[in-house]
Amino acid sequence: MNRELRVAVVGAGPSGLYAVDALAGQSEVPVSVDVLDRIPVPFGLVRYGVAPDHLSLRGVRDTLEKVFAHAGVRFLGGVEVGGSVTLEDLRSCYDAVVLTYGASSDRHLDIPGDDLGGSIAATDLVNWYCGHPDAPREQVEAALAGVRDVVVVGVGNVAVDVTRVLAKTAVELEHTDMPQHVLDVLAKSSVSDVHVLGRRGPVQASWTTKELRELGELVDADVVVAAAEVDVPPPADRHAAKNLEVLQGFAARTPTGRGRRVHLHFCARPVALTGGDRVESVVVERTELADDGSASGTGVTWDLPAQLVVRSVGYRGLGLAGLPFDGARHVVPSEEGRVLDDGVPLPGVYVAGWIKRGPTGIIGTNKKDAAQTVASLLDDARAGSLPEPSHPGAEAIDELLADRGVKVVPFAGWRAVDAAERALGATRGRDRTTIHDRAALFEAAEER
Ligand code: NAP
């Protein structure tokens, strides 16, 4: 190929931006990269998933942002692949397409009452408190109104994030970049007890030790664990052993009469949500563990009062027209980042991040994952196996988007949003207040 390679990266979250870094950071194959995201601002889960009170983790965006300093890297915000443009459109304009659009949907409990009012997905709650433009604000705020008892189902890091945010005081949350309406709702919260349910034992929980430990550091919430539930032999796995140690430390504490309580339960799975229009309680069943760590019900049940149930049982990837999809694993089938169609590579189409491997790992996991995908792409470029696009010119995508009336937000638009959010935060003595409304984001982006 006697011109530079043109690559589209779909999704400006961590895996997408790590892929851009790997592409733009090498000099062997000259490359230009367009990063498309349906949201008018970059950073994906770093902006809309990492908990707002995890300031240092959110600071990763300063590192990720540096990829846009590379010559030949552009941000095309507000462009929805599968909406205003199709995968086929991208394949006609670029030599290669790297899909890193993540896993935006949620999993269900599939138990009676799962769809009652007051039963919501953690993804909706997280989107709301992070200020995602698509968050179902009315539904979440209605679900939170007047709640005293919350049940969070699942013992992963998202469950810990949600629990911590619900149990924190307004003062603890003030220094975050949450939208102002979110802070105002949480400041008036009547939550007193948050019960977290793990269907397996304390050593099978998937949270990380640092995150678990933070539940014991809340200013106005006691963490409550029944000693009998964490009285199990120390596991061989170092990470699980550390978690057990922290949990046993919690169990040894005497509650100090703080305003709120976080209760951690193990071998306890929800079997039904009950109530009228709205959830009133959760029927919980005691489970027992088999040698392989799987849980089965014992038939022993009890009721936990709950006016809010948050299911935090994992994210779920979605398919895209024109792209093979593994409906059982909710990922795009691939080998070393090359998308497979019936086991055969789909030329010029790649995946990285959660849509490639499922919703697992921490932010840094995506760096290695994206590097593997980019290595495959560059190998294919060197081998001459990338298909020739029908519209290879650099202007082809711009013309296509203009023809379809798509308003594209460039990187300078994000810079303008960034300045507007900092200015908004300063009016309340905060570093930043997230702008959550889509139209307001486009408007702020115009102020450049
Ligand atoms: P996760 O770690 O997979 O946790 C899901 C939890 O839901 C597990 O405890 C699982 O239990 C439970 N579960 C699944 N189906 C269930 C059911 N039907 N009934 C009851 N419980 C059920 O997922 P996640 O918490 O959504 O996190 C996703 C990824 O993001 C993880 O890799 C996580 O570490 C990462 N993350 C990291 C941070 C951080 O680093 N601070 C913050 C947030 C998220 P079983 O184990 O029994 O299946």
8 A C-beta contact, residue 436 and residue 126: no
Q: State the CB neighbour count (10 A cutoff) for residue 345.
A: 18
The pLDDT of residue 64 is 95
Most ligand 1 atoms within 8 A of CB, residue of 313, 316, 329 to mutate: 313
The answer to whether residue 236 sits within a structural domain is yes
The answer to whether residue 43 sits within a structural domain is yes
CA–centroid distance, 157 to ligand 1, in Å, is 6
326 and 376 share a domain? yes
CB of 73 sitting under 6 A from ligand 1: no
**Count of domains observed in the chain:** 2
CB of 154 sitting under 6 A from ligand 1: yes
Q: Which atom of ligand 1 is nearest to the CA of 109?
A: 18
333 and 227 share a domain? no
| Neighbour-count burial of 331, counting CB atoms closer than 10 A to its CB (0-12 exposed, 13-18 middle, 19+ buried) | buried
CB of 153 sitting under 6 A from ligand 1: yes
| Neighbour-count burial of 148, counting CB atoms closer than 10 A to its CB (0-12 exposed, 13-18 middle, 19+ buried) | middle
Instruction: Name the pairing type of β-strands 268-275 and 279-289.
Output: antiparallel
Domain extent, residue 67, equals: 5-104+317-409
The pLDDT of residue 204 is 97
The answer to whether residue 448 sits within a structural domain is no
Most ligand 1 atoms within 8 A of CB, residue of 160, 199, 310 to mutate: 199
Q: What distance in Å separates the CA atoms of residue 34 and residue 85, rounded to the nearest whole number? A: 14
The pLDDT of residue 448 is 72
Nearest CA to ligand 1 atom 33: 157
What residues does 352 pair with on adjacent strands?
A: none
300 and 225 share a domain? yes
Which of 313, 343, 374 is at the close of a domain?
A: 313
Which of 254, 288, 313 is at the close of a domain?
A: 313
259 and 269 share a domain? yes
Helix residue spans in 257-410 (DSSP H): 354-357, 365-383, 396-403
The answer to whether residue 434 sits within a structural domain is no
CB of 309 sitting under 6 A from ligand 1: no
The pLDDT of residue 428 is 94
The answer to whether residue 297 sits within a structural domain is yes
37 and 26 share a domain? yes
169 and 307 share a domain? yes
Q: State the CB neighbour count (10 A cutoff) for residue 384.
A: 7
Tell me the CATH number at 309: 3.50.50.60
Which of 264, 283, 313 is at the close of a domain?
A: 313
The pLDDT of residue 162 is 98
pLDDT in tens, the chain (448 residues): 678 999 999 999 999 999 999 999 999 999 999 999 999 999 999 999 999 999 999 889 999 999 999 999 999 999 999 999 999 999 999 999 999 999 989 999 999 999 999 999 999 999 999 999 999 999 999 999 999 999 999 999 999 999 999 999 999 999 999 999 999 999 999 999 999 999 999 999 999 999 999 999 999 999 999 999 999 999 999 999 999 999 999 999 998 999 999 999 999 999 999 999 999 999 999 999 999 999 999 999 999 999 999 999 999 999 999 999 999 999 999 999 999 999 999 999 999 999 999 999 999 999 999 999 999 999 999 999 999 999 988 899 999 999 999 999 999 999 999 999 999 999 999 999 999 999 999 999 998 7
12 and 125 share a domain? no
238 and 124 share a domain? yes
Taking alpha carbons only, the member of 191, 174, 192 closest to residue 183 is 174
The pLDDT of residue 447 is 85
pTM of the model: 0.96
309 and 331 share a domain? no
Tell me the CATH number at 340: 3.40.50.720
Q: Hey, is 159 helix, strand or coil?
A: helix
Q: What distance in Å separates the CA atoms of residue 370 and residue 125, rounded to the nearest whole number? A: 28
The answer to whether residue 416 sits within a structural domain is no
Q: Which atom of ligand 1 is nearest to the CA of 155?
A: 9
Nearest CA to ligand 1 atom 14: 313
The pLDDT of residue 3 is 85
In this structure, what token pair is assigned to residue 293?
């760590």
Q: State the CB neighbour count (10 A cutoff) for residue 350.
A: 28
121 and 84 share a domain? no
The pLDDT of residue 393 is 85
The answer to whether residue 424 sits within a structural domain is no
The answer to whether residue 439 sits within a structural domain is no
176 and 206 share a domain? yes
141 and 46 share a domain? no
Crossing angle of helices 157-167 and 122-130, in 10° steps, is 60
